[in-house]
Structure 1
Amino acid sequence: MHKKQPNILYIFGDHLNPVALSCAGNSDLETPNIDRLAQRGVRYTNAYCTHPLCTPSRASMITGRLPSQLGITGFETDWKKEDLPPTLGRLLRDQGNYRCGWGGKWHISDHSLEDLGPPEPSDQDFGFERICGLDDNHLPEACARFLQVDDPRPFFLVAGFDNPHNICEADRNQPLPWGEVQDVPVDEYPNLPQNFRPSTGEPQVISLRRAQAQNQAVTPYSEERWRRYRHQFYRLIEKVDAQIGQILDALDESGLADDTVVILSSDHGEMNAAHQLFHKQVLYEESVGVPLIVRDPADTRRGVTDDQLVSIGFDLLPTCCDYAGVTPPAGLCGRSLRHEGVDSSSSAREVLIAETRLNNACEARMVRTPRFKYIAHRWGENNEQLFDLEDDPGEMINLAVEKRHANTLQKHRELLAEWCRSTGDAYAKHYTHPGHAAVPGVGWVELSPDRLKV
């Protein structure tokens, strides 16, 4: 049982695929340290990011807002310090008296966090002390030093790893920043995924993305090349799993583990050859899905899974605020994942939204319901997708092209329209209709004026 205000340790990777873990049943790699965290807590099997790209997703994590509401839809941001909304670090530091530290990868903006040392408290900083720069190899040691500091305040420590993002460098035959991956004979490479082929009725914008990526490839993408890619990706995950283990060991050795909630996730996933795609940005499960494990010493649940719809972008902030006894900002979409010892299934989320911007031009939205996933792309042929994730978890059959699924399709279109209407999400906006979103099968959706700037 932890104290009233527990310590909070948030560990997250970059590109960590939700099913690329041995605790998720994947036999192509071993992740003993992530597995032991899952054995001590709850693993969420339907967890998503808000936008499968590093900078937008990370901005969402620390604000609880959709990246498009923040004006962040790519690597470049127009996030001015004077427009900075309340951030997770600032909320816990200023209202909860937490000692907040951030180590490792930041990748949100170039503002105050990049300065060494604790920031001067203000409404224009992020609220974190920088304990370590971008360095996976030294991050565990920096976290251990942070844990050894004698301070009466509870702590909120973020450990942001770069890996397994190095799959991007590996794919381009570049040196790997945190150590190379040993190659093996071809017959030891993992096999191709069951959903290696493109889905039926694939949107034009995804086909274009695949063609552009493969045209720019250093070497052609044969099946052997794809299998080598998967081998490299899994070895990078094993590398970061070992480093995560060092942090968990340091927590145990500090004597603080019984008073510390540990959360593990990622900023987004990695396609890892599914649908013959790599990296992120698309709204397929491998890309928009993330691992999420919560180990709360006060929660009696151990080694269980929870299939409710959750979002690391929407839910991290209210969850941490709940543990810290801090009131989150009004108007956020997220909810706390803190378990109060009662059945929460009746209040489980029925609809979850995510967004992306493909090829630096085409907006898209995901509407996830308990059984189905709907994806709308702003332009192109076959710009809608509908998948029955119970019958088709690999997202191979696009039901949006079949008349017999028209009612389900229209229901999800209406859910997207209601989301846009109630939150001010100007999806697919057009200069001819300011203050409106454009939803397939619904048309122009007038947005609530008081929600246009959240």
Structure 2
Amino acid sequence: MSRPNILIFMVDQLNGTLFPDGPVDWLHVPNLRKLAARSTRFANGYTASPLCAPGRASFMSGQLPSATQVYDNAAEFTSSVPTYAHHLRRAGYQTCLSGKMHFVGPDQMHGFEERLTTDIYPADFGWTPDYRKPGERIDWWYHNMGSVTGAGVAEISNQMEYDDEVAYNATRKVYDLARGHDARPWCLTVSFTHPHDPYVARQKYWDLYEDCAHLMPEVGPIPYEEQDPHSQRIFDANDWRSFDLTDAMVQRARRAYFANISYLDDKIGEVLTALEATQQEATILFVSDHGDMLGERGLWYKMCFYEGSARVPIMVSAPQMAPGLVTAPVSNIDICPTLCDLAGVSMDEVMPWTTGESLVPLGQGQERTSPVAMEYAAEASYAPMVSLRYGRWKYNRCALDPDQLFDLEADPHELTNLAGDPAQAGTLASLRAKSEARWDLARFDAEVRISQARRWVVYEALRNGDYYPWDYQPLQKASERYMRNHMDLNTVEENQRFPRGD
């Protein structure tokens, strides 16, 4: 069969509530709006885990963190876990990554044949949380409120430099693919770090939101003592007592975040323009790893199951799927089986251990009733947390905390916990039974603690003496680029041109 080329755009920390049916109308994102018009759009997409590395390992493998053992931002993604890059490459695809995937450990490829950039975050175990020390803040890498108090305009930043490089390399790769030197179908993943904090944006994008009516959260700050226990842990982990946030700071942070979505839209547009100019056809996916609370309830960043943190945009433009809106809850762990389905690649050998389900049937008018599962066992948690989104309901469970039950249709901001409501006792019991059948929290906790303890030993050992980092070093074969004396100039000029001359 003829296998489609596949282009995946992944962004970082993009709040899915801003994509109820493609991007909301007040966002300045012409390229994403154009993509949405031809895509199956998933209004209720969720992350597998609201943190970068666990969410991304789950997205690539179709498995939850309890299966991948990528519990946090310093947990190794082992080489034996198949990803969509492995499945597609095994079936004859050339697979390439430009940008972030936050792989931790010595394997920095995970099925990709080629990586065009290094990662933006470290690949070692230095960011390992420690459940043995609940409440300990590790200042040099834990989030604090400095991203909010320092929000504003900059023409260059660490993250802009990275995403400029990601877009440049991805665009160059699209042109190279058009030259046709490799007859295999291709899968190119372009993964940006924006709009992840810090909330700093270029002036041209900042100016787009001068009169934005959405610069304050819909739900204002909730006093610390009225927050649920995990939200209190997030406040403590973010060192909130050391900062005095004003409305002006909140507005500037949200404005920069929205501006960076527009910045991303331009970067995605650069890649799509190259694709169109070279007349290449491709199935296109757009997804995020997790969301951002953006000040709702007084919370920022992610690390919780509230909608702002857990919801992600998911859009798929493929001939096999009809453009339109799907409201059934889905997950970014569904991306791996979806890609294989679209490419006609079997996952039968690993499906017994894969949690994700293909989204293709939903893009063909079929329904899904199975719950969406989420897990969290990283910084700001003291024990693993799990969640089920089932129809209109969201049920959250942690051994340390009271249960949470929210009716998202009646209460989209999750302000009323119905776990203690006698009228919902049946719903609570049903969802608790589903959760207990899926998760043994005591075993989950023990496995996380074993992983953390082992990694602390290894990290400290490897930092003693000469240190060889696992960070990916992109290989530039300078002697095979442009024109060199072992090449025929006429052949180079003809072969590197698209379209070919007469």
| TM bracket (short chain) | 0.7 to 0.9
Which has the higher Rg, Structure 1 or Structure 2? 2
Q: CA deviation at 1:414?
A: 0.7
In structure 2, the CA distance between the partners of 1:182 and 1:13, relative to structure 1 (3 Å rule), is same
Which one is further off, 189-198 or 273-282?
189-198
Q: Percent identity?
A: 27
State the partner residue of 1:160.
Answer: 191
* SS of 2:261 mapped into structure 1: helix
In the TM superposition, what is the alpha-carbon distance from 1:36 to its structure 2 partner?
0.8
Residue 387 of structure 1 aligns to a residue whose secondary structure is strand
SS at match of 2:394: strand
Say whether residues 1:146 and 2:168 are aligned partners: no
With over 3 angstroms needed to count, the CA separation of the structure-2 counterparts of 1:413 and 1:227, relative to structure 1, is same
Q: Which of the numbers 231, 252, 259 marks the counterpart of 1:206? A: 231
| Aligned partner letter, 1:160 | S
CA deviation after TM superposition for structure 1 residue 273, in Å: 1.2
TM-score under structure 2 normalisation?
0.73
Aligned pairs for 1:53-452 within 5 A? 53-81=51-79, 84-94=80-90, 96-113=91-108, 125-134=110-119, 135-148=162-175, 149=177, 150=180, 151-165=182-196, 167=197, 169-170=198-199, 182=206, 190-198=214-222, 202-215=227-240, 219-257=243-281, 260-299=282-321, 301-302=322-323, 304-313=324-333, 315-328=334-347, 329-331=350-352, 332-339=354-361, 342-345=364-367, 348-357=368-377, 359-380=380-401, 383-420=402-439, 426-428=443-445
Partner of 1:118: none
Structure 1 unaligned blocks of 5 or more: 115-124, 432-454
1:180–1:108 distance in 2 versus 1, CA, 3 Å: farther
Q: 1:365 and 1:155 mapped to 2: Cα distance? A: 36
Cα deviation for residue 214 of structure 1 reads 4.9
Paired residues of 1:22 and 1:31 also in contact (CA < 8 A): no
Change (3 A) 1:208 1:77: closer
Aligned residues: 397
The 1:198–1:355 alpha-carbon spacing in structure 2 relative to 1, beyond 3 Å, is farther
The 2-side partners of 1:196 and 1:344 are apart by 39
* Equivalent residue runs for 1:6-21 within 5 Å: 6-21=4-19
Q: Distance in 2 between matches of 1:321 and 1:425?
A: 34
Measure the CA separation in 1 of the matches of 2:186 and 2:447.
46
The one-letter amino acid paired with 2:3 is Q
How has the CA–CA distance of structure 1 residues 93 and 430 changed in structure 2, closer, same or farther, with 3 Å as cutoff? Answer: closer
Distance 2:363 2:25 in 1: 33
What is the one-letter code of the residue matched to 1:366?
Answer: S
Cα distance change of structure 1 residues 340 and 22 upon mapping to structure 2, 3 Å threshold: closer
CA distance in 2, matches of 1:251, 1:263: 14
Q: TM-score, normalised by structure 1?
A: 0.80
The alpha carbon displacement at 1:427 in A equals: 4.0
SS, match of residue 136 in structure 1: helix
Using the TM superposition, give the Cα deviation of residue 182 of structure 1 relative to its aligned residue in structure 2, in angstroms. 4.3
Task: Name the aligned partner's letter for residue 365 of structure 2.
Answer: D
Q: What is the aligned-residue RMSD (CA, Å)?
A: 2.9
CA 1:11/1:425 → structure 2, altered by over 3 Å: closer, same or farther?
Answer: farther
Q: 1:69–1:425: 8 Å Cα contact kept in structure 2?
A: no
Q: Which amino acid aligns with 2:112?
A: G
Cα 1:19–1:145 shift into 2, 3 Å: same
Instruction: Write the deviation string for residues 372-430 of structure 1: whole angstroms up to 9, x where unpaired.
Output: 101112314xx221110111111111111323222211111011012227xx9944559
Partners of 1:38 and 1:350 in 2: how far apart?
Answer: 25
Cα distance in structure 1, aligned partners of 2:100 and 2:118: 7
Q: Is the 8 A contact 2:326 2:362 kept in 1?
A: no
Q: Report the Cα offset of residue 28 of structure 1.
A: 4.6
**Cα separation, partners in 2 of 1:397 and 1:268, compared to 1, 3 Å:** same
Q: 1:211 to 1:330 in 2, by over 3 A?
A: closer
**Long gaps (5+) in structure 2:** 120-161, 449-502
Letter of the 1:272 counterpart: L
User: Partner letter of residue 189 of structure 2?
Assistant: V
Code of the residue aligned with 2:393 in structure 1: it is F
The more displaced of 385-394 and 332-341 is: 332-341
CA positional deviation for 1:319: 0.9
